[in-house]
Structure 1
């Protein structure tokens, strides 16, 4: 299974965030588990090599959800 895009992660991130406050690391692990990502997919890095692709996508999903919350408020 390919790594989901940030927009495909928005609903799962929102649902998990409604349960409790997560660290980004723990949230990323939960999402990776939920999508049954392989070890290779979990360690794949973005082109700069700074962080994993799944962590980057979870970060952007959370960022856009936060921005939408501020826009609606």
Structure 2
């Protein structure tokens, strides 16, 4: 399978998530997909309080609202 067909190119995915105790963890499936990309890659992470513009900023960085909005990930 070509890396261009990976799910990470189809929709926003969570690379870092939290478990039921609030501990942060890497989502291995997403990391495996990213590892298949043979080109230089930049990962952007944003954290902050509820309703402070995190999703807006990520959507702007992604150049619009193509596909699913980032705010619906959780």
TM-score with structure 2 setting the length? 0.34
More strand by share: 2
Relative contact order (C-alpha < 8 Å, sep 6+): which is higher? 1
Structure having the larger proportion of residues in helix: 1
Q: Which has the larger radius of gyration?
A: 2
TM-score, normalised to structure 1's length? 0.34
